[in-house]
Amino acid sequence: MRRIVLPNGKAHFTFSVELDGELINIRANWLTRYGYYIVTIEIPNQGIEVAGRSLHPNIDLLKDLQLTNLQSLFIKGDEPTPNNLGVTSNLYYGEL
């Protein structure tokens, strides 16, 4: 399992990461009213862009994208907030 470093203290951020040879672009936005992040995932080589996935512990962000070469991308730990992201709530790539 591989930990992907996320910024702490930010309500809105974008980052790119290479997972098993695939470039993945992720944009996260904190929804103050509802108290959780939503993410947009873009995989340019596959022509995939998915918006509005919520970021919660133990939920695979790549599920149902029909990407047989990729494992799971998920939060482990506490429910993510701008204050605990990257501290007690971390993003991992591997087996869920």
- The residue type found at 60 is D
Total length of the chain = 96
- Burial classification of residue 82, based on how many CB atoms lie within 10 Å of its CB (0-12 exposed, 13-18 middle, 19 or more buried): middle
pLDDT tens track, the chain, 96 positions: 999 999 999 999 999 999 999 999 999 999 999 999 999 999 998 889 999 999 999 999 999 988 778 999 999 999 999 999 999 999 999 998
How much is the pTM? 0.92
Please give the tally of structural domains in the chain: 1
Rounded Cα distance, 39 and 42, in Å: 10
φ, ψ for residue 46 (rounded to 5)? -100, -5
Burial 13-38 (b: 16+ CB within 10 A, else e): beeeeebeebebebebbbeeeeeebe
Can you give the residue range of the structural domain that contains 53? 2-94
